């Protein structure tokens, strides 16, 4: 029975991206929402990297010696970064100007869409792994699986707000559906395959780690720095910190 509960929880966790989307639809000023959501997403992703993903990688590599761990983490982190860098060239509308004239405003809006698309793709892979985790935890203990699901759902809301406020929904409906269902797909794969090598899981986690580093440091951080004096950015940072603190008690 816990198997079915596990799949239900993975589906619920993915749906919380849509709550972020609903928030986006209710806000009229998209420019202010973009600034807020970028600051918020940066805090959430950095917390994801430090508090969840990196410790998980170390746990998966627990049986290996230190030099092998360092080599593996460096190698596949770089691969993750390069994967998104290569993908960068195939995602159109990537400009980054902040002047006040109409032409540069359009270019800046295009850059925001570009960041949203990259974030969405990077998070899809991460959510597959989260689906593994939720399904696995629920199989052994439903209460633990529920807590993991709530933790994942909590950070999916602000990330969903960022993505939905950044991308062109008409052109990216398929990607949004894939993102929403990615945790469920991870849970289904877990139950279909069963035991998966910890080394394979570690490599996938490290590649995801590299992708999220690229998104946070190369895409989100420069955008935040350029808008740091605006109150929306400050509110976004504070909100992100509050969410991180709340998640620590779940």
For residue 95, the model assigns a pLDDT of 45
**Cα separation, 212 vs 83, whole angstroms:** 11
**Cα separation, 184 vs 177, whole angstroms:** 11
**Cα separation, 228 vs 35, whole angstroms:** 9
Q: Where in the sequence is the domain holding 39, given as residue range(s)? A: 2-247
Maximal C-alpha separation, the chain: 59
SS3 of 81-134: HHHHHHHHCCCCCCCCCCCCCHHHHHHHHHHHHHHHHHHHHHHHHHHHHHHHHH
pLDDT in tens, the chain (250 residues): 567 888 898 899 888 888 877 887 787 776 787 788 788 888 888 888 888 789 888 998 998 999 999 999 999 999 988 877 776 665 544 444 444 454 555 555 555 655 666 666 667 777 787 787 778 767 766 776 776 676 677 667 777 777 777 666 666 677 778 888 888 988 898 888 866 778 887 887 888 788 788 878 887 898 889 889 899 999 999 998 998 888 777 6
Please state, as a whole number, how many other Cβ atoms lie within 10 Å of the Cβ of residue 2.
Answer: 15
For residue 76, the model assigns a pLDDT of 93
For residue 170, the model assigns a pLDDT of 65
Residue with tokens 């529920």: 146
For residue 53, the model assigns a pLDDT of 82
Asked if 165 and 30 count as a contact pair (C-beta separation under 8 A), the reply is: yes
For residue 160, the model assigns a pLDDT of 77
For residue 105, the model assigns a pLDDT of 53
Total domain count, the chain: 1
CA 229, chain centre distance (Å)? 25
For residue 148, the model assigns a pLDDT of 66
pTM above 0.75, yes or no: no
Angle (CA) 73-10-139 rounded to 5° is 85
Residue with tokens 């982190």: 77
For residue 237, the model assigns a pLDDT of 94
**Cα separation, 248 vs 10, whole angstroms:** 20
């Amino acid at each position: 029975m816990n198997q079915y509960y596990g799949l239900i929880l993975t589906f619920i966790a993915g749906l919380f991206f849509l709550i972020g989307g609903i928030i986006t639809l209710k806000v009229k000023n998209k420019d202010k929402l973009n600034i807020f959501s970028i600051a918020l997403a940066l805090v959430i992703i950095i917390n994801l990297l430090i508090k969840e993903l990196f410790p998980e990688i170390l746990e998966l590599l627990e049986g290996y010696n230190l030099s092998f761990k360092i080599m593996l983490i460096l190698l596949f982190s770089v691969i993750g970064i390069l994967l998104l860098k290569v993908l960068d060239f195939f995602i159109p509308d990537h400009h980054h100007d902040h002047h006040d004239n109409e032409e540069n405003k359009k270019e800046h809006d295009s850059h925001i869409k570009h960041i949203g698309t990259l974030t969405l793709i990077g998070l899809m892979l991460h959510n597959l792994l989260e689906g593994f985790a939720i399904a696995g935890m629920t199989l052994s203990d439903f209460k633990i699986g529920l807590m993991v699901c709530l933790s994942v759902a909590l950070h999916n809301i602000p990330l969903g707000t960022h993505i939905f406020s950044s991308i062109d929904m008409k052109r990216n409906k398929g990607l949004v559906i894939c993102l929403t269902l990615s945790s469920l797909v991870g849970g289904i794969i877990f139950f279909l395959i069963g035991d998966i090598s910890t080394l394979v899981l570690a490599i996938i986690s490290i590649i995801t780690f590299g992708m999220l580093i690229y998104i946070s440091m190369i895409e989100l951080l420069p955008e935040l720095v350029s808008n740091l004096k605006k109150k929306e950015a400050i509110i976004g940072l504070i909100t992100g910190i509050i969410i991180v603190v709340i998640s620590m008690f779940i």
